[in-house]
Amino acid sequence: MMANTVLLERQDNIAIVTIDRPEALNALNSTVITELEQVVTALESDRDVRCMILTGEGRSFVAGADIGAQYPLDLDGGRRWGQRGSALFRRIEKLEFPTIAAVNGFALGGGCELALSCDIILASEKAKFGQPEVGLGITPGFSGTQRLPRRVGVAKAKELIFSGRMIKADEAKEIGLVNAVYAPEVLMGGALEMAKSFTKNAPIAVKYAKACIDRGMQMDIDGGIAVENELFAMCFATADQKEGMGAFLEKRPAAFRNK
């Protein structure tokens, strides 16, 4: 699938989504949001996809939401814009398979929020992160005030959001925003290697494990344990459980079928 500003390609069961608006540092405007919505719709219904890698073309991941497009907005327009971006990023967060943001450059404002909607963030040594919105007279609008503290802790998120400070990849890794940092030329190779380490496993089990973590983080530990117990039990109704354990007992590689 090729669109004007968002590209979708496949490598086996891995979907690679690239924001392709390099002349604007991949800034998010209505066209990019629309095409991302279309891509997410396609991925939500594709049972063959087992992992997604999200990246940007050129020297930027996503440099933020397009300031020129936001400048004329009034109260109602700002509300609609924020709701639209947040709804899209929530759909990305709720994709049943693992998602990896391969941040190759600037991930500022909406770009940082987009990366935060993914399960894993990998960064190039040239990557830079930040939520600079308060310097523009606004707050983060695509759920950054909610996801950043959940990722790095409340105090650090407040420091970064209140100051609008931009941080480099090494600091982002130090505070837990980023999982790993790579030389620019091997970032996508590292992302693909990680994706393959996910996709080699039973896809239903990976999906259930993601659901256990995501749902459990929104409730107390007893509720989370109950969710885990139910999804653990449901694994035993799958053919992949029999295949995985049978392959282990027979000392052979497993051939999972997503069933």
Residues that are catalytic: 113, 133
Nearest-angstrom CA–CA distance, 205 and 213: 12
Task: Give Rg (Cα) of the chain.
Answer: 19
Give the residue from 225, 210, 214 showing the smallest Cα distance to 51.
210
- CB-CB contact of 32 with 80 (8 Å): no
Nearest-angstrom CA–CA distance, 173 and 178: 4
Q: What are phi and psi of 15, to 5 degrees?
A: -90, 130
Tally DSSP H helices, then E strands, for the chain: 11, 10
3-state secondary structure of 64: coil
* C-alpha 197: how far from chain center: 17
Give the residue from 151, 141, 113 showing the smallest Cα distance to 129.
113
Measured CA to CA in angstroms, residue 79 lies from 29, 54, 229 at distances of 15, 26, 39
Give the residue from 200, 242, 210, 250 showing the smallest Cα distance to 259.
242
DSSP state of 184: G
- CB-CB contact of 144 with 112 (8 Å): yes
Give the residue from 190, 166, 167 showing the smallest Cα distance to 179.
190
